[in-house]
Structure 1
């Protein structure tokens, strides 16, 4: 493909068709794609994506192939990192910090690049490259600018800060005043999310996951700064946390009720509830909001055990006011069914 001139229509078409073959190969022979990436395909894709050429179908297709190559494949993720691909992705995405994509195709390319970046951040060594490439600063700017890139920037931050490997990114995020950006998004879910195809639940999940990651990873002064945020304005962020707790608690209880009804009906008809069925039911519970609920409960537990008495008092006060219970929180953390756990029946 290096020898083809995209100024010539036939040769540009040739590149497009080659990319189509690569896409098919990725579906049926993923091992060959990994090998192709190592034999020069990855290098060519990065070079083509960053080439100073007008946006066209081939650039869009390149972004799609790149995202596919990086899915569930640590070898290609490492390869991209070694080729300074994290910087290439960040440079290409920086265009969208103050400007929305001008067409649906350009928006699709932006989302492909974000997806590729999220995949890369699953690899710990790329977290460091992202940090050194000032990826946190770019994502933070995108959150402030309120453009279409904001939703995906939130997802990238979530991927970059999760787990013990995200500790350095968590500390840097606080240093660049990221708390001022993330907490307004926690306090109020933006209404203009339909354009980006993101749901309210996805937004709240990413925000809560970022806050939970910081509570896990931050030490000393930065951790104190995070906890102090919850005490501001008469603990308004604790009130919002508890509002989200009861919102998702109700959603999961409803899902558990439906699942329990289905199980009862299956048993009545003599069907066997095997492990695969139980896994499917669990996935449905997660989809209904169990994962977000567990994140919220983790945050509740962490701030209650922080040594700041007013935070613990506020959490317990709202739980008592709304018929909640610490025992229910423990059950949620363990992922147990909530349908039979009527909050008002369980005393603290």
Structure 2
């Protein structure tokens, strides 16, 4: 009886406390209040600090999971169910490393701990899912959106390269199978993404090409026939383009492995049809042209273009192509230019290209097409040997039909002269109002404005005019008459050439050659 009374009293007391608690405490029990207080204390402490102690803990866990997985795989080699749990744990630890992308200041310490070597080593893990997870993490750590300074990025990348990163990535490209395997397909995409990140540094880009067979893999990948074109095929073409953009060494290597011939073959179908607009195929098309244009900037690339009948293909595209027309003109412009463009210029004339080019020039064209045509004309006049049949044929084209091409050139010169002069007047007015410090800060901006107004095309026009008046008395007379109509003279043409001379970089072979040419032209005016 006493026990029951005690129990009842205790229960009543608890009930009273609970009811009182609910009423006076906002509807929670004492136990719930304690839990909430604990959670609030945890929140007050904030998220875990990402610092050196945290990094050591992260690194230790990472290495432990690698060791445990290796041990379980060795112990239960024939029974995957026994080591799959350790594999899942390793996968989690790999993905946990993504936090470092937000703290690049820890890159060097992470490298010093030896963990980057362990990370790279996992690229050869038997489970390709682990290898792909590693590729994704490396991609995140090396991404240009990470706010790492150059020194931090270099420590990270060079340490991984020393741990055979480049070979491992290339081997992964070869072992992953895209066909009917979405995971492997994604793995290849992420591997290409890492190569793109690495290519942002020219020295690393050149190591990639020199120390691996990735150029060959990329060429083979874009040769694979697909309909529709896949994302990975397009991306392979993009990486190829990126690797050759800023490195003559990489361009020459791609030329050596028949890159020019392969790209011409792949572009050949577009001589009469356009790529699917807005799809991966259009980007593939653009990237292949961009790569080829880079290659023909090299002497060896120009020679290969001629050998592979690339000049003839370009002429077909200029005559019959739609989207390919402008790209083919740009390609020919680059191929004809420079000290070593003579071989292409001669082939262009031999392939009956003058009729095609001058025919296009006399039609109404957009500014970009006109610029490329003028660039080709300037290269023909610069590079074709004196008194050679191709040069005589070229000069004859300018002379025929009462100098109609020269008349159009002079009309274009008037137009570009007005545009550039207008920009010059605006800049001169702004310069007068600016302080010395402001002038120094705005020089680049003003140069860009002059270029936007058509300065480059204006300079090319005056080069062409100078060549013609230097070699043909009739052209000199006609050009002088046309200039006088605009209150100009050959002295104005000379002034343009002198300005070009003043801005030349004479440290390069090309710069020295251009100086010789311009100096000779100035002396003839």
- When normalised by structure 2's length, the TM-score is 0.59
Partner Cα distance (1:235, 1:251) in 2: 25
**More deviation, 172-181/285-294:** 285-294
Aligned 8 A contact 2:202 2:247 in 1: no
What secondary structure does 1:323 align onto? coil
Deviation, 1:77, is: 0.5
Residues 158-178 of structure 1: CA deviation (Å, up to 9, x unaligned): 110002200011011000000
Structure 1: segments with no counterpart, 5+ residues: 191-199, 337-347
What secondary structure does 2:199 align onto? helix
Deviation, 1:272, is: 4.9
Match of 2:483 in 1: 319
Aligned 8 A contact 2:314 2:328 in 1: yes
Deviation, 1:148, is: 0.5
Deviation, 1:326, is: 1.3
Match of 1:206 in 2: 372
Aligned 8 A contact 1:189 1:203 in 2: no
Match of 1:67 in 2: 241
Match of 1:36 in 2: 208
- CA 1:164/1:32 → structure 2, altered by over 3 Å: closer, same or farther? closer
Point out which structure has higher relative CO (alpha carbons under 8 A, 6+ apart).
1
Q: CA RMSD in A?
A: 1.7
Residues 166-219 of structure 1: CA deviation (Å, up to 9, x unaligned): 0011011000000011112222243xxxxxxxxx33222111110000001112
Match of 1:121 in 2: 296
What secondary structure does 2:439 align onto? coil
Based on CA coordinates, which of the two structures has the bigger radius of gyration? 2
Q: Does 2:246 match 1:82?
A: no
Partner Cα distance (1:320, 1:34) in 2: 53
Match of 1:9 in 2: 182
Residues 310-348 of structure 1: CA deviation (Å, up to 9, x unaligned): 222211111112222111111111228xxxxxxxxxxx9
Partner Cα distance (2:309, 2:359) in 1: 22
Match of 1:286 in 2: 451
Match of 2:430 in 1: 262
Match of 1:297 among 458, 462, 487: 462
Partner Cα distance (2:445, 2:497) in 1: 19
| Aligned length in residues | 323
Match of 2:113 in 1: none
Match of 1:26 in 2: 199
Partner Cα distance (2:198, 2:256) in 1: 24
For residues 83-232 of structure 1, the aligned pairs below 5 Å read 83-104=257-278, 105-190=280-365, 200-219=366-385, 220-232=388-400
Match of 1:197 in 2: none
Match of 1:249 in 2: 417
Residues 283-302 of structure 1: CA deviation (Å, up to 9, x unaligned): 33223211111111111111
Aligned 8 A contact 1:121 1:159 in 2: yes
Partner Cα distance (2:241, 2:430) in 1: 38
**More deviation, 83-92/310-319:** 310-319
Aligned 8 A contact 1:201 1:289 in 2: no
**More deviation, 320-329/208-217:** 320-329
Structure 1 segments of 4+ aligned residues over 4 angstroms from their partners: none
